[in-house]
């Protein structure tokens, strides 16, 4: 199961670093919501 889903990304350690730059971008968006 190598789909491009959020669950797959979280399950794959090598993909975690790729989420680092995305996390700071999502944080402000969640706060504004």
pLDDT of residue 8 exceeding 60, the answer is no
Mean pLDDT (the chain) is 59
- Residue 32 is predicted with a pLDDT of 64
Mean pLDDT of 6-18: 56
pLDDT of residue 2 exceeding 60, the answer is no
Angstrom distances, CA of residue 32 to CA of 11, 12, 24: 28, 29, 13
Backbone angles phi, psi at 2, to 5 degrees: -110, 60
Model confidence pTM above 0.75: no
Distance in angstroms (rounded) separating the CA atoms of residues 27 and 30: 5
- Name the residue among 4, 9, 30 with its Cα closest to residue 20: 9
């Amino acid at each position: 199961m190598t789909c491009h889903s959020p669950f797959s990304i979280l399950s794959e350690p090598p993909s975690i670093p790729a989420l680092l730059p995305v996390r700071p971008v999502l944080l402000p968006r969640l706060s504004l919501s």
